[in-house]
Homo-oligomer: A and B are copies of this chain.
Amino acid sequence: MSAPSDSKDLRRVILDEARHQLVKHGYNSLSMRRIAKEIGYSATAIYLHFDGKDALVHALIDEGMENLFKRLQETCPEKIEPAARLRQACLEYVRFGLENPEYYEIMHLIHPERMERFPAEMYRRARRSLEFIQDILNRGAAAGQFVLDSASVSAAAIWAMLHGVVSLLISRRVDVRIDPDTLIGTLVSHVIASVTLQPVRVQA
């Protein structure tokens, strides 16, 4: 709804409006023409700042990945001991997903065919969160608190567990009679158990 004149950096305005539409109306109705109409420009103006819709979505994904990584960094400092840090990181990952379902959705809706089109440096940035978890595992292993065959495989497995629960919860596929926090607690406890070889004790 902003006038065309009020912006010096149209790219930023486009991204903001795209994010706004994404959060408000969902990915399905994220359209170039609607973004353009809303910010008071013609649809083709967007193409002066983005190669196309894919590139725009990629930029949004990049934003989301950045936010997730920052959050993990800020809430899980090195000073926390490995097990607690891993637990914290898992919980923050899940919380991020549940608090930003639209972001989480586009961050994971890239299909195999489109994967190659995803810019390499974005791909690298997107993997920082995974590496963050892997780093926690390595430090825990070095401190003798974790037992793992392979940090990369364990990190991937943990990621799969976290992604699974976020994905199912976001899409409301989990029975409503199941308390989400109980489910999350169960999962995260299993995550910790999987690297500590301790029997699972679920904390609800």
Contact = CB atoms under 8 A, between A and B. Distances in A.
Looking at chain A's contact residues, the main secondary structure is helix
B165 A108 contact: no
Contacts of A89: none
A136 B164 CA distance: 21
A98 interface: no
Contacts of A200: 193-194, 197
A111 B159 CA distance: 22
Interface stretch (A8-16, A32-40, A70-78, A169-177): A169-177
Contacts of A157: 165, 183, 186-187, 190
A167 B163 contact: yes
Copy count, this protein chain: 2
Contact of A112 (B110, B156, B162, B171): B171
A167 to B, nearest CB: 6
A175 B149 contact: no
A160 interface: yes
Contact of A167 (B164, B182, B199): B164
A159 B194 CA distance: 17
A131 to B, nearest CB: 10
